[in-house]
Amino acid sequence: MSILLGLALSSPFLTLPAPALGQPAAITQAVDQARRRSSCLSLRCNDEEWRLASDRSLHGQASGWRTSANARLPGQRSWARLRAPARPRDSTHNYSNKWRVGTQYGLQVLRDGPSRLGVEFGAGYRLAPRSDDGIRSTGPVFRGSIDFGRNFGERARWSQHVLFETGDGQTFVKQTLGLDIQLWPDWTLETDYVIRHRTSGASGTETAESWLGIRRQF
């Protein structure tokens, strides 16, 4: 017993408080705790998690060994919560090109999940006519669009885009339908069908065209 007591008191690798002499039960408990802590691989093995419960007024317990509630085990770290900023659903931007200038407001109605739905509208001034993008005269115009898309699995995607512009007694509507199917990792089958409707006064014209092709990404 004296040999075990000497090891418990003099070993530089043990940091447990030494029990009082003449208490066999305390000596046995200290040696048992030393054996349990002998396999610590941390660079800092101390007794922060052990305290002598001698203050009965605070804990109401008899003197002895216990584990502290605020113990920090080796390797324990505090984690910081990361929060990504939310993306706004609406946006406003001004634009200008050689055909028109104006401002536009957009709203993403659906953007999470397999379906996507967005709307845009705004006012502008047409500088030059363009046959496939608006009315055939210059002046103030009101312009908007509806964009819808849906994914079917991981390889197929359906898209539908409707563009309209009105001004000077004319109306232009362009609808584009598309279906893209991924055949291989770098090869995609693309199909487009475009319908253009133009109204000027009481008369109107309508044209349509389609396209089918395979696109390869490099």
Range of 183's domain? 90-216
Residue 190, pLDDT above cutoff 70: yes
Kindly report the number of other CB atoms within 10 A of residue 135's CB atom: 23
Q: Do 63 and 95 share a structural domain?
A: no
Distances (CA, A) of 101 to 57, 81, 93, 94: 80, 45, 11, 8
- What distance in Å separates the CA atoms of residue 101 and residue 126, rounded to the nearest whole number? 7
Same domain assignment for residues 20 and 104: no
| Model confidence at 126: pLDDT above 90 | yes
Weakest mean pLDDT among 159-163, 170-174, 178-182, 213-217: 213-217
The total number of structural domains in the chain stands at 2
Q: How long a stretch of residues is the chain?
A: 218
CA–CA distance, 180 with 212 (Å, rounded to integer): 10
* Domain annotation covers residue 153: yes
% of the chain surpassing 90 pLDDT:
44
In a domain, 73, yes or no: no
Residues 202, 144, single domain; the answer is yes
pLDDT in tens, 51-105: 444 444 444 444 444 444 555 655 555 555 666 567 888 999 999 999 999 999 9
Same domain? For 114 and 51 the reply is no
Specify the pTM: 0.58
Query: What pLDDT does 16 receive?
Result: 47
Question: Does a structural domain hold residue 133?
Answer: yes
Whether the per-residue pLDDT at 187 is higher than 80: the answer is: yes
* Contact residues for 218 (Cβ-Cβ < 8 A; gap 6+): 186
Tell me the mean pLDDT in the region 103-122.
94
Same domain? For 47 and 96 the reply is no
pLDDT band at 14 (very low <50, low <70, confident <90, very high): very low
